Structure 1
């Protein structure tokens, strides 16, 4: 896991949050979660990652649901803060609930978490904001170690059969996400040039 992968996942999250607005009642691909609950979870994940990067320790903290535009702005600010924290990214082990894990494992898990939830957010309001191919391809190579087929329920569904060739859709299918027809990958020329 390189810091570059972590950076790219945070940048994709920031892209997915653009223009989200204040209506957070819409359902997401996360079973039983609307945008409000998903943003609270993403906020909690970012807070944990920031703890790990800054202090080498992650403790569980409860998610806080904020209203509308406040929630979006808060997650954007937290993600931007995480990017700043990553300038001090250290290869030292991180204590997660008292268990030492390598910084690479924590970083890879964080990158996967933020990327998939960024897609969960984007598919609700901006389906054209696909997971960049290079980011998805890098995550697809590590996903089986982080999310094995056995023991993934209830966090992830079973892999979904797919005939797609895009790395983003392959990653989502592996993680059990069903891709709505309106959210299928567009012509690559239509995707943001920064990716």
Structure 2
């Protein structure tokens, strides 16, 4: 696993955001979430990562609600700030749920979270790019440790059979998702 995993995940998110249309009520692959809710969740995830890097602990607090398509501008700004935080000096470990976790693990969890939810956004943005193979391949190697087969519900659906052997299809299927048909 390389140290730039979080940076590549954020780059993918930033590549997806311009394709998001003005209809933030559009459904996403995240059950019961529309685009607005998914953007708000991404905002919360970025806030938690930034909090961990800045303060040495992650407080799980909601992000600001995303009310309009300007929400993608907000997410872009926050994602770019996360990249700056990641590039600057930060603690070696952070406290998450009262347990110390290495900052590298925090970055890996963040990379998986941001990549998968960026892909979820592509359901409402057909012109958005797919997950890069090298990113999907690397996340697939860590996903079983971060999202074990047991105790994954309600955050992730059970693994399903991937339709192909591409790294993206295998990663998505492990997390209970399928690519839409072409």
Residue aligning to 1:186? none
Q: Contact 1:53–1:86 at 8 Å: present in 2 too?
A: yes
Counterpart of 2:45 in structure 1 is 45
CA contact (8 A) 1:3 1:86 kept: no
Report the Cα offset of residue 127 of structure 1: 5.5
Aligned length: 182
For the 8 Å contact 1:49–1:110, the answer to whether it is kept is yes
RMSD of equivalent CA atoms: 1.5
Cα displacement (A) at 1:19? 3.0
Encode CA deviations 1:138-186: one digit per residue, 9 max, x unaligned: 000000000011110010001111241210111000000122103xxxx
Deviation, structure 1 residue 85: 1.0
CA deviation vs aligned residue, 1:93-151 (integer Å, no higher than 9, x gap): 11113221111221111000000000000122125511100000000000000001111
Aligned residue for 2:80? Answer: 80
Name the SS for the 2:95 alignment partner: strand
User: Where does structure 1 lack aligned partners over 5 or more consecutive residues?
Assistant: 183-195
- Counterparts of 2:19 and 2:170 in 1: how far apart (Å)? 26
Distance 1:23 1:93 in 2: 39
Partner Cα separation in structure 1 for residue 169 and residue 175 of structure 2: 10
Does the 8 Å contact 1:123/1:129 carry over to 2? no
Q: Which residue does the alignment assign to 1:176?
A: 176
Q: TM-score, normalised by structure 2?
A: 0.94
Matching of residues 62-101 of structure 1 within 5 Å = 62-88=62-88, 90=90, 92-101=92-101
| Shift of residue 84, structure 1, vs aligned partner | 1.1
In structure 2, relative to structure 1, the CA distance for the partners of 1:147 and 1:117 (3 Å cut) is same
Q: Unaligned regions of 5+ residues in structure 2, if any?
A: none
